[in-house]
């Protein structure tokens, strides 16, 4: 190893040094030793690679930079925490809105309880002691209006006596623009349509009862041969119809029973 005296060191220190290209394998060895921390930067490595660390401080910095490479870039700043939604949910205004909504729901439930109690009290009479439970609502009142139909209590059997007018009712409801017809099953003859008669038999007629709304088929002077089924139909598509059986009684029923009266005419009753 060459020895350099004090004067030569000063001269070398004041002399500008030209940095020559560094072999790649030398730079790699220098970086690995520097990164692992097993060795500290020493002038032996550059000297061994042919780069004496002599000269001004700026030259030394250039040589150090050539060996170690550019300084690593600073790590990127961490992304800001996602607090947009949390901030919206955690705002005092949002908490106040949720509290007001909860109070409104509780107030509505309390109002419903008061209304139910007031209805129960209004149903109590002056002489009632115990309250009555509120019944279920009539859901049929909320149902959409039905079309033309027959009432459930429309009669299916009618009897009449010989010589007395026979009235055969038909409880047709919600007719609207539809009409009611009476047809005799025996020969499928159309007797009446609404209040118009379509038969040569003048004993038949039809009219609408203003008190009940029923369409009534009237047969004057009925005979036992007039007994049978008569159909009341509504002019819908398909046709809605109901059959009524007419029974014409030929003879009067005579009942004989014992009475306490002394008059013989009280012992018989004609029906």
pLDDT tens per residue across all 271 residues of the chain: 444 444 444 444 444 444 455 566 666 666 666 666 554 445 445 554 555 444 445 555 555 555 555 666 777 777 665 544 444 444 555 667 777 777 777 777 666 656 666 656 655 544 444 444 555 556 555 566 678 999 999 899 999 999 899 999 999 998 889 999 999 999 999 999 999 999 999 999 999 998 998 999 999 999 999 999 999 999 999 999 999 999 999 865 555 555 555 555 555 544 5
* Whole-Å CA distances, 257 to 194, 251, 264, 265, 270: 47, 19, 11, 11, 12
Residue 131 lies in a domain: no
Distance CA 87, CA 83 (A): 5
Cis geometry, peptide bond prior to residue 238 (ω within 30 degrees of 0)? yes
State residue 83's pLDDT score: 47
Q: Would residue 31 count as lying in a domain?
A: yes
CA 212 from centre of chain: 42
Q: How many domains would you assign to the chain?
A: 2
Q: What's the Cα-to-Cα distance from 177 to each of 62, 101, 154, 232, rounded to whole Å?
A: 108, 52, 21, 16
In a domain, 76, yes or no: no
Q: Which helix (H) or strand (E) holds 106?
A: helix 92-123
DSSP 176: T
∠ CA 161-167-172, nearest 5°, is 150
pLDDT of residue 126: 45
Asked if the structure places residue 32 within a domain, the reply is yes
Q: What is the DSSP string of 76-99?
A: PPPPPP--HHHHHHTSHHHHHHHH
57-68 and 24-36 are packed helices; what angle lies between their axes, rounded to 10 degrees?
Answer: 90
**225 found inside a domain:** yes
Whether residue 155 is found in the same domain as residue 63: no
CATH number for the domain spanning 209: value is 2.60.40.10
Same domain, 61 and 153: no
Query: For residue 183, what pLDDT is reported?
Result: 95
Task: Report which secondary-structure segment, H or E, holds 230.
Answer: strand 228-234
Report the 10 Å Cβ neighbour count for 234.
23
Phi, psi dihedrals of residue 197, rounded to the nearest 5°:
-100, 135
Determine if the pTM surpasses 0.85.
no
Residue 63's CB: how many other CB atoms inside 10 A? Answer: 20
Residue 99 has a pLDDT of: 76
In contact, 166 and 222? CB cutoff 8 Å: yes
Query: In this predicted structure, what is the pLDDT of residue 75?
Result: 76
Phi, psi of 55, rounded to the nearest 5 degrees = 125, -160
Report yes or no on 200 lying in a domain: yes
Residue range of the domain that includes 16: 6-68
């Amino acid at each position: 190893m060459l020895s350099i005296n004090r004067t030569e060191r000063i001269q070398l220190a004041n002399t500008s040094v030209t940095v020559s290209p560094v072999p790649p394998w030398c730079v790699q060895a220098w970086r690995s030793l520097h990164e692992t921390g097993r060795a500290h930067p020493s002038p032996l490595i550059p000297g061994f690679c042919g780069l004496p660390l002599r000269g001004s401080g700026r030259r030394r910095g250039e040589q150090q930079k050539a060996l170690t490479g550019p300084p690593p870039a600073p790590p990127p700043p961490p992304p800001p925490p996602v607090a947009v939604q949390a901030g919206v949910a955690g705002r005092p205004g949002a908490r106040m809105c949720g509290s007001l909504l909860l109070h409104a729901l509780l107030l509505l439930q309390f109002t419903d309880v008061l209304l139910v109690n007031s209805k129960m009290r209004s149903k109590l009479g002056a002489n009632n002691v115990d309250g009555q439970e509120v019944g279920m609502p009539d859901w049929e009142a909320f149902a959409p209006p039905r079309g033309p139909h027959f009432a459930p209590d429309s009669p299916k059997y009618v009897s009449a006596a010989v010589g007395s007018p026979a009235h055969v009712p038909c409880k047709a409801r919600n007719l609207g623009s539809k009409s009611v017809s009476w047809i005799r099953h025996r020969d499928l003859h159309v007797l009446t349509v609404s209040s118009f008669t379509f038969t040569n038999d003048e004993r038949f007629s039809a009219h609408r009862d203003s008190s009940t709304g029923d369409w009534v088929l009237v047969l004057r002077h009925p005979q036992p041969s007039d007994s049978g089924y008569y159909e009341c139909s509504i002019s819908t598509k398909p046709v809605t119809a109901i059959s009524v059986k007419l029974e014409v009684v030929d003879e009067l029923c005579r009942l004989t029973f014992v009475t306490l009266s002394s008059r013989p005419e009280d012992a018989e009753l004609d029906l």
